[in-house]
Amino acid sequence: MIRRTVRYCPHGSRRSHHHNPRGVNEHLPAEDDDDNHVHSVDDTSDSESEDNTMRCLSFLVASDEGVDSVPVLAHRAILASRSPVFKAMLENKMEESRSGIIRISEASTEALNVFVSYLYAAEASLNEQMACELLVLAEKYQVKHLKSYCEKFLISKLNWDNSVVNYSFAHQHNAKLLVDAALSLITNNMDKLTKQVEYRQLMEKDARLVVDIYEAYLSKQVNTAAPKDKG
């Protein structure tokens, strides 16, 4: 049985580290509290340069039950070019554009770091847990190539023991490739299905998905039994 430590993902546990574009301080933007200070010309120039740099960046924060993690920094241009959702956030007068802070509740800090790194380099080192978390992020922020990459990885890891869990997970996040692969594996082993603990859990959680399994199985049986046309 696979234990879920992230509510939407059937694999693994969370760890934390963070991504940081070179030369940028690792803290959220603070309120300006130096109105009474006198600045030299050099100080003013440095301050303006830093302000311009900060306006080019966003702080992505993995927020779990209201507790913010260490921020992950990314250039706004990269976020906007890779994700239409981020583009809408940052190019319109939304809170994320004004504050520079994007709170993300769908992932661990580790997954958020890997997600941002992928937006820069189009590469990611995956395990099953990470693939699940990145797929959730890719679905929400419409990073289609990352979603497809994660689906293909999870399909490569499919087996009988995780088939039902992955089938449910894939349905939840509109991962059609993974749905079809998991469903095919399940319908090829229907004699073992009712013995699975995950099957009984799915019955309680979402009986409609169980109905879909049986409908797919019956459809496969009909197609197998149907005589083939002789040309």
Residues 208 and 103 in one domain: no
Joined together, the tokens standing for residue 221 give 């049986």
Q: Would you tell me how many other CB atoms lie within 10 Å of the CB of residue 166?
A: 28
Q: What is the mean pLDDT of the chain?
A: 81
Residues 132 and 167 in one domain: no
Residues 183, 167: contact at Cβ < 8 Å?
yes
31 domain-assigned: no
The β-bridge relationship of strands 72-75 and 57-64 is: antiparallel
pTM given for the model = 0.74
Residues 149 and 166 in one domain: no
Write phi, then psi, for 63 (nearest 5 degrees). Answer: -110, 115
Write phi, then psi, for 172 (nearest 5 degrees). Answer: -60, -30
CATH number at residue 171: 1.25.40
CATH number at residue 152: 3.30.710.10
As for how many domains the chain has, the answer is 2
- In this model, does residue 55 exceed pLDDT 60? yes
Mean pLDDT of 1-14: 48
102 domain-assigned: yes
Mean pLDDT of 143-153: 97
DSSP code of 141?
T
- In this model, does residue 19 exceed pLDDT 90? no
- In this model, does residue 164 exceed pLDDT 90? yes
Residue with the larger pLDDT of the pair 174 and 229: 174
Buried b (16+ CB within 10 A) or exposed e, 118-133: bbeeeebebebbbbbb
- Lowest-pLDDT choice from 30-44, 176-190, 213-227: 30-44
